[in-house]
């Protein structure tokens, strides 16, 4: 089976600032793969390039057997890549359920005419969308809050809603951008259990995180970026002992 | 007295439809597009010209005017959607100016400043809508139908896509929505509503000229949407009613004189007051629950 995600010499330039420098990456299906590095290392930029929100300056990105380097973001989502955002990006004036239903946008097709006139086919499709959205909410434990406005939720639940919304797109690869940020230890433990359940349901997970307990606790393999370059890759045990990683985070002793 | 009231209700109904269109563009999708007066004019002139030059009845002019407006909405959307927020707004305003200039100068088609008189009232199986009361009924049936269709869109996949773009366009893109296409659809759909308003206007006043389709008109529609509730169907009706009645109330209190000057002053004050005190308008995104009339329960449905 081909690796689910492959990056070959992926580079990204922003007006002279080299955000990513020839990064190679292979993620196997069913893995929980971690991406760590100091602030500004290029981690979110890498996510943006994989999901099509930024276009790679050079290099190739392949999803399964398909090249996705120059594809539009909505096409990549449809191919099975979903993400959450570092700064929570919920649809704040919409309800929890509506947020999750947006996830089903790429899995449904009724457009202007069928929506305006509420054809029987459209009503059926809406029923399916609603059902799948509720399932995603149930998976993360938010089904009871379906009709609440998204911005009325406490922080931890907002993060879980973002995950539910991403799950509702029926992805094969889930990108989580600092899902544990701002969480207390109990919420963090709950999050780690959720990520395990997501992997157990058949998804592959690509995770950016600063909380080392989370990273070392659940990742199968980890890649470390610094100044846009890959400086280390391996198992949690290997990464913890790698001198280059230690130097990147803590500096070198004089 | 009934004639006066019927006249007021007709005008309110026409503006309500145009404001619904504005709400689809701004209230649902968050686009600061303000070209409704141009689409209103395109609808009016399309139907009038089809009636006067080709003898086609109102019932052909109505969909034709709506679709013509929608087509121009589509084209304007395609042309301007890559512009950043402020520039997009100015470009849509520019479109109003362009359309008005075309209507003024393409005299072979529109008779320019002389306008198009003798636009026929609609008739159906021998019955002619030539009284104020009958036309009022026609207008409000269309208001109800278009309101219902707008609600269908709001509760659908497309409506959710509109609102997702408004609330967080980046996330909408990440969730698989083709944001460019959906935004153009929003402008086009809003234009269709304005086109319907235009057709109703042309066949009511039976005379149209380019001066009615001005920048001021488009700002009035914007005020109605902002005041009534951005993203509310009932709010569109409320906003239209409020801003049509307001100058009439001023007149009753004895403030006469150049109506247009006082109207402009009034609308400016209302707009600023609304934005300062209640930025999402009177209704915000809530709707009247018409079921409350029959089955009881709360009058207003918040989201």
| Residue B135 maps to a domain | yes
Q: Give B152's contacts in chain A (Cβ within 8 Å).
A: 115-118
Domain span holding position A151: 93-165
How confident is the model over B181-201, as a mean pLDDT? 97
Whether A103 has its CB under 8 Å from any CB of chain B: the answer is yes
Q: What is the pLDDT of residue B251?
A: 72
Which residue in chain A is spatially nearest to B156 when comparing CA positions?
A: A115
Q: Does residue B159 lie within any of the structural domains?
A: yes
Q: In the structure, what pLDDT confidence band is assigned to residue B291 with cuts at 50, 70 and 90?
A: low
Q: Is A97 within the bounds of a domain?
A: yes
B55 CB neighbour count, 10 Å cutoff: 9
Determine contact, residues B206/B117, Cβ cutoff 8 Å. yes
- Residue B188 maps to a domain: yes
Is residue B150 one of the residues assigned to a domain? yes
- Chain B residue with CA closest to A97: the answer is B160
Question: So what's the pLDDT on residue B258?
Answer: 59
CA–CA dist B200, B5 (Å, integer): 17
- Domains identified in chain A, total number: 2
| Residue B57, domain extent | 2-214
Same domain, A160 and A191: no
End-to-end CA distance of chain B: 39
Kindly provide the ipTM of the predicted complex, given to two decimals. 0.93
Residue range A84-123, pLDDT digits in tens = 999 999 999 999 999 999 999 999 999 999 999 999 999 9
Same structural domain, A189 and A229? yes
> In chain A, which residue's Cα lies nearest the Cα of B146?
A116
My answer on whether A142 and A103 are in the same domain is yes
Q: What does the pLDDT read at residue A120? A: 94
Asked if residue A190 and residue A127 are part of one domain, the reply reads no
Residue B226 lies in a domain: no
Residues A179 and A75 in one domain: yes
Last residue of some domain: A115, A140, A165? A165
pLDDT of residue B252: 73
Q: Which of A117, A143, A165 is the last residue of a domain?
A: A165
**Would B35 be classed as within a structural domain?**
yes
- Among A52-56, B168-172, B278-282, where is mean pLDDT lowest? B278-282
Among all chains, which residue has been given the structure tokens 């100091």? A38
pLDDT value of residue B270: 79
For B79-102, b/e burial (b = at least 16 CB within 10 A) is: ebbeeeeeebbebbbbbbeebbeb
Predicted confidence (pLDDT) per residue in A202-247, tens digit: 999 999 999 999 999 999 999 999 999 999 999 999 998 898 888 8
Structural domain includes residue A64: yes
Residues A73 and A175 in one domain: yes
Q: Are residues A75 and A178 in the same domain?
A: yes
Per-residue pLDDT tens digits for B221-259: 999 998 888 888 999 999 999 988 887 777 777 666 555
CA angle B233, B223, B207 (to 5 degrees): 90
List all residues of chain B from 116 to 155 with a beta carbon under 8 Å from chain A.
149, 152-153, 155
pLDDT in tens, A30-68: 999 999 999 889 999 999 999 999 999 999 999 999 999
Residue A9: predicted pLDDT? 95
**Residue B92 near residue B186, CB atoms below 8 Å:** no
Q: Total structural domains in chain B?
A: 1
Across the range A11-29, mean pLDDT stands at 93
Chain segment A166-194, per-residue pLDDT in tens: 999 999 999 999 999 999 999 999 999 99
List, for residues B195-206, the tens digit of each pLDDT value: 999 999 999 999
Supply the CATH number for residue A48's domain: 3.40.50.300
Residue B121 lies in a domain: yes
Where among A165, A181, A199 does a domain terminate?
A: A165
Give the list of residues 6+ apart from residue A171 with CB closer than 8 angstroms, or none. A77, A80, A81, A82, A203
The strand pair at A204-208 and A32-36 is best described as: parallel
């Amino acid at each position: 089976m081909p690796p689910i995600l492959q990056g070959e010499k992926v580079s990204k330039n922003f007006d002279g600032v080299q955000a990513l420098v020839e990064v190679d990456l292979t993620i196997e299906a069913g893995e929980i793969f971690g991406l760590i590095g100091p602030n500004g290392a290029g981690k979110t930029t890498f996510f943006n390039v994989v999901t099509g929100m930024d276009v790679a300056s050079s290099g190739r990105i392949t999803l399964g057997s398909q090249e996705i380097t120059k594809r539009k973001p909505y096409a990549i989502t449809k191919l099975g890549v979903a993400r959450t955002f570092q700064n929570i990006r919920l649809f704040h004036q919409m309800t929890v359920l509506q947020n999750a239903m947006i996830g089903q946008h790429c899995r449904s097709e009724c457009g202007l005419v069928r929506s305006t006139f509420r054809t029987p086919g459209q009503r059926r499709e809406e029923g399916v969308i609603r059902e799948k959205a509720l399932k995603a909410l149930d998976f993360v434990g938010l089904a009871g809050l379906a009709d609440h406005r998204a911005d009325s939720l406490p922080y931890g639940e907002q993060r879980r809603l973002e995950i539910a919304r991403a799950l509702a797109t029926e992805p094969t690869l889930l990108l989580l951008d600092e899902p544990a940020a701002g969480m207390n230890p109990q919420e963090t433990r709950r999050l780690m259990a959720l990520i395990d359940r997501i992997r157990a349901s058949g998804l592959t997970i690509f995770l950016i995180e600063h909380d080392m307990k989370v990273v070392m606790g659940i990742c199968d393999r980890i890649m470390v970026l610094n100044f846009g370059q890959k400086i280390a890759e391996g198992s949690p045990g290997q990464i913890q002992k790698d001198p280059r990683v230690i130097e990147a985070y803590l500096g070198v002793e004089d | 007295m009934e004639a006066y009231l019927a006249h007021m209700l007709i005008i309110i109904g026409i503006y309500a439809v145009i404001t619904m269109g504005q709400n689809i563009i701004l209230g649902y999708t968050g686009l600061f597009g303000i070209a409704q007066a141009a689409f209103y004019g395109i609808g009016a002139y399309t139907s009038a010209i089809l009636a006067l030059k080709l003898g086609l009845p109102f019932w052909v002019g109505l969909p034709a005017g709506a679709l013509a407006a929608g087509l121009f909405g589509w084209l304007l959307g395609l042309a301007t959607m890559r512009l950043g927020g402020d520039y997009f707004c100015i470009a849509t305003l520019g479109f109003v100016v362009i359309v008005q200039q075309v209507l003024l100068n393409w005299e072979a088609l529109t008779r320019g400043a002389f306008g198009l008189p003798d636009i026929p009232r609609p008739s159906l199986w021998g019955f002619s809508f030539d009284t104020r009361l009958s036309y009022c009924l026609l207008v409000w049936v269309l208001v109800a139908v278009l309101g219902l269709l707008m609600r269908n869109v709001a509760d659908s996949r497309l409506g959710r896509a509109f609102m997702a773009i408004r609330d967080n366009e980046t996330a909408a893109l990440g969730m698989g929505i083709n944001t460019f296409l959906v935004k153009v659809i929003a402008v086009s759909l809003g234009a269709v509503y304005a086109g319907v308003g235009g057709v109703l206007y042309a066949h009511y006043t039976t005379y149209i000229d380019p001066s009615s389709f001005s920048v001021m008109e488009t700002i009035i529609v914007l005020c109605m949407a902002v005041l009534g509730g951005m993203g509310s169907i009932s709010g569109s009706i409320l906003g239209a009613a409020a801003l049509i009645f307001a100058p009439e109330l001023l007149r009753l209190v004895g403030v006469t004189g150049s109506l247009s000057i006082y109207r402009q002053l009034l609308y400016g004050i209302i707009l600023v007051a609304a934005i300062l005190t209640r930025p999402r308008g009177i209704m915000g995104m809530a709707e009247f629950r018409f079921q409350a009339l029959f089955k009881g329960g709360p009058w207003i449905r918040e989201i």
